[in-house]
Amino acid sequence: MTPTVTSLRERKRGKVEVELDGEPWRTLPATVVVRAELRVGRRLDRGTARLLARELRRANAVGRATRALASRDRSRGELERRLNAAGISEAAREEALSSLEAAGLLDDARVAEARARDMARRGYGNAAIQSDLRTRRIDSETITSAIEELEPETDRAARVLNGRERTPALLRRLASRGFSRDTLEDLALSEP
């Protein structure tokens, strides 16, 4: 015999207690209850159980992703990697990430621009910024666009030098921070 939903009771923190055939069954997130269309009198047949399971996986993926976003802005690739490592199915990952993008909570261009500005402000060159953004799994086109928004690399390197003598050691330091060979050659040839 297929069980029937006999009660839905609202609980704290967006949860709903579900009763089947008069017996307590589970406490579920309210969003899952709504999306799975659970209501008093509905039978929990195989199709409804599958829909409920899918919605629980989706809610789990969204929950994990939003908790990761609470600490800092992350790229889609970073969240995808985290959800995959947590064992979230590909379909649930895709649906959760698409929902977050549609809500404006997930935006690779915003992440790339903010990270590029921050690194440039801290004295990094284009190669270091590009490498950092690649590790965040941001696509090449978005990385290029973010770097193009920055002031020229030569100006940033000159500001780092700020009247210091252009010694080979100082130029090596700039190279280690991702400034290009062309930029370093321009600085070596220019007057302080």
Q: Which of 47, 46, 48, 60 is nearest to 18 (CA)?
A: 48
Q: In what order do the strands lie in the sheet with 23-29?
A: 5-11, 15-20, 23-29
Q: What is the pLDDT at residue 189? A: 73
Cα 111 to Cα 76: distance, rounded to the nearest angstrom:
10
* Amino acid type, 116: A
Report whether 113 contacts 122 (CB < 8 A).
no
According to the model, what pLDDT value does residue 168 have? 86
Output the pLDDT for position 188.
76
pTM for the model:
0.80
DSSP one-letter string for 34-93: HHTT--TT-B--HHHHHHHHHHHHHHHHHHHHHHHHHHS---HHHHHHHHHHTT--HHHH
d(CA 188, CA 153): 14
pLDDT score for 192:
58
pLDDT at 101: 94
Which pLDDT score, from 0 to 100, does residue 153 have? 94
User: Taking CA 128 as the corner, what is the angle to CA 127 and CA 132, rounded to the nearest 5 degrees?
Assistant: 115
Q: Mean pLDDT of successive 10-residue segments in the chain (192 residues)?
A: 92 94 94 92 93 93 93 94 94 93 95 97 96 96 97 90 83 92 83 60
